Homo-oligomer: A and B are copies of this chain.
Amino acid sequence: MEPPILMPDAFPADSVGLVTPQCMAFDEPVTLACGRTLDRYQLMYETYGTLNADRSNAVLICHALSGNHHAAGYHNADDRKPGWWDTCIGPGKPIDTNRFFVVCPNNLGGCHGSTGPASINPETGKPWGGDFPTLRVRDWVETQSRLADNLGIQRFAAIVGGSLGGMQVMRWALEHPERVAHAIVIASAMKLTAQNIAFNEIARRAIMTDPQFFDGHYLEHGTSPKTGLAIARMVGHTTYLSNDAMRDKFGRSLRTGTFERGIDAAVEFEVESYLRYQGDVFSEAFDANTYLLMTKALDYFDLAREYNDNPIEAFKKSLARFLVISFSSDWRFAPERSQEIVNALVGAGREVCYADIEANQGHDAFLLHIPRYLEVFSAYMQRIADEGFR
């Protein structure tokens, strides 16, 4: 008997199907915002759909804190889970791969194949670890723009991102105004609040006080601060959901134990074991130094800092048309933060559409299948295509 042939219909019809990550190596040095230089680096990326003849239909996806280049489709026939934004990317989906050519890189500093803290530092022959340069959002914009150059994409029909990804979108619009036709900023902010910084610092503290951290050089010690990273993920998971979402998902259901009097059994709520499990899974798959680097980039981002703290002045530099989306129950990137973006864009005389989506899933909503969100997003993207990607 011959081995079974993988049929294309093994994947859902609206999936991009099997995808293969690609790697681009850069030999031109890049000087980072911190002043340090990387002589060479590589970026992993995936593409979906087909670049049209005049190279006008490209969409760049900027990922968030724990994202990577695998935004849609499957890496092999046995994959149970598609890429992290498969709800939004595929044939007939908001970012319709029948019409758009989608590029999604893993950011510099990432831990999924792009040069980052787990890569070998050519000067020492050991992993960079804690010596990897501090990155800013603008460094990602710069390296993404070089990836675009090499792919022959001069101008993106749209640059799209949620959360930290939205910060990259806004920075793109200021740094390379002529290269961004449409900027789509989802569940993001022009700068983090003190509360957001506090949660990031709790996460970092959990990682950095883990005895396996070794000042960031844990790989050289053949270990990693998994316990701390798991706690960091628990903080993220809890705060990226809403109070209502947690109530609907877990309530006060028990996993073990009983509240009966006279019984001294360990009582454990479902929410506790779920968070611990999620934290443990994440800590096996993600690099702690990348987590630190990404949270720092989040904290440091301040769109208007070099524009006299005036976001109107900042956005006057942009030429893109904007779509801004927020979610009603998102309390880490609250609708107010998106409205500040919209107000600044209006003040700068820029074209902007804004939708606040009623959804109880908190910050995580931007990754989820929320019909109203997908409708708004689809309608906007279709208009871009219908208007000839201008």
Q: Contact residues of A with B, CB < 8 Å?
A: 33-36, 133-134, 191-195, 197-199, 201-202, 205-206, 209, 211, 227-228, 230-231, 234-235, 238, 241, 243, 246-247, 249-252, 259, 261-264, 267, 269, 271-272, 275-276, 279, 296, 299-300, 302, 305, 331, 334
Q: Are B227 and A209 closer than 8 Å at their CB atoms? A: yes
Q: Are A35 and B271 closer than 8 Å at their CB atoms? A: no
Q: Are B202 and A238 closer than 8 Å at their CB atoms? A: yes
Q: Are A246 and B202 closer than 8 Å at their CB atoms? A: no
Q: Knowing A195-B243, A247-B193 are in contact, say whether A35-B252 is a contact too (CB < 8 A).
A: no
Q: Are A299 and B269 closer than 8 Å at their CB atoms? A: yes
Chain B residues, Cβ within 8 Å of A249: 194
Chain B residues, Cβ within 8 Å of A276: 201, 205
Residue in B195, B211, B241, B250 whose CB lies within 8 Å of A238: B195
Q: Are B209 and A211 closer than 8 Å at their CB atoms? A: no
Chain B residues, Cβ within 8 Å of A302: 252, 259
Q: Knowing A35-B262, A264-B34, A302-B252 are in contact, say whether A205-B234 is a contact too (CB < 8 A).
A: yes
Chain B residues, Cβ within 8 Å of A263: 34-35
Q: Are B252 and A231 closer than 8 Å at their CB atoms? A: no
Closest B residue to A269 using CB positions: B197
Q: Knowing A201-B275, A302-B252 are in contact, say whether A264-B134 is a contact too (CB < 8 A).
A: yes
Chain B residues, Cβ within 8 Å of A34: 261-264
Chain B residues, Cβ within 8 Å of A228: 209
Chain B residues, Cβ within 8 Å of A275: 198, 201-202
Q: Are A206 and B231 closer than 8 Å at their CB atoms? A: yes
Rounded to whole angstroms, the CA-CA distance of A253 and B298 in the bound complex is 15
Chain B residues, Cβ within 8 Å of A264: 34-36, 133-134
Q: How far is the CB of A137 from chain B (nearest CB, A)?
A: 12
Q: Are A198 and B231 closer than 8 Å at their CB atoms? A: no
Q: Can you list 7 A-B pairs, Cβ within 8 angstroms, ordered by A? A: A193-B243, A194-B269, A197-B252, A197-B272, A198-B238, A205-B276, A259-B302
Q: How far is the CB of A338 from chain B (nearest CB, A)?
A: 15
Q: Are B261 and A35 closer than 8 Å at their CB atoms? A: yes
Rounded to whole angstroms, the CA-CA distance of A35 and B230 in the bound complex is 34
Q: Are A199 and B269 closer than 8 Å at their CB atoms? A: no
- Determine which residue in A228, A252, A263 has the highest number of CB atoms from chain B within 10 A of its CB, and name it: A252
Q: How far is the CB of A268 from chain B (nearest CB, A)?
A: 9
Chain B residues, Cβ within 8 Å of A206: 206, 231
Chain B residues, Cβ within 8 Å of A243: 193-195, 331, 334
Chain B residues, Cβ within 8 Å of A246: 193-195, 198
Q: Are B36 and A198 closer than 8 Å at their CB atoms? A: no
